A = this chain, B = another copy of it.
Amino acid sequence: MEFTHLNKEGRARMVDVSGKDDTLREAIAAGFIYMKKETLDRVAEGTIKKGDVLSVAQVGGIMGAKNTPNIIPMCHPIMITGCDIKFNISHEHQRIEITATVKNVGQTGVEMEALTAVSVAALTIYDMCKAIDKEMVISDIMLIKKSGGKSGLFERKG
């Protein structure tokens, strides 16, 4: 298989999707941010109050999904038709799981939008907690599932 982003001169191009059909597409991405026990406790407390860390990360992630074509150089402009982000706090693993679901109806999919939403949500959590913990780690950002388009369904195993 060839890299689709290379033109005849071997330089990067934005792949031509003009001939593709508009189909309903969905992508789900996930990732984790690991932090100290005390930091996680503080974030978890906040979730029962207004103005908490995860509310800001939710907004940051959704705006990141919309902003993807400005952030990722070769991404096509896309009008996403829906975006949701979920957080799952695990005290056992000292981490927050972030899952983003993005939808669109168009000629190209929303994998990058979902991955960017997760990344920006994680970075936002880092930003808001960094005064008390500089050793947080963002890990295992990956595509979980995508559907729609010519390449069809993808589901990550295990």
Contacts and interface: CB of A to CB of B under 8 A. Distances in A.
| Contact size range, A | 35 or more
Contacts of A131: 1, 3-5
B80 A77 contact: yes
B16 A127 contact: no
B112 A127 contact: yes
A83 B146 CA distance: 25
Nearest to A143: B134
Given A15-B82, A107-B81, A132-B1, A137 B126 contact: no
With a 10 A CB-CB cut-off, give which of A10, A51, A72, A83 has the most chain B CB atoms: A51
A49 interface: yes
Contacts of A1: 131-132
Contact of A14 (B9, B62, B143): B62
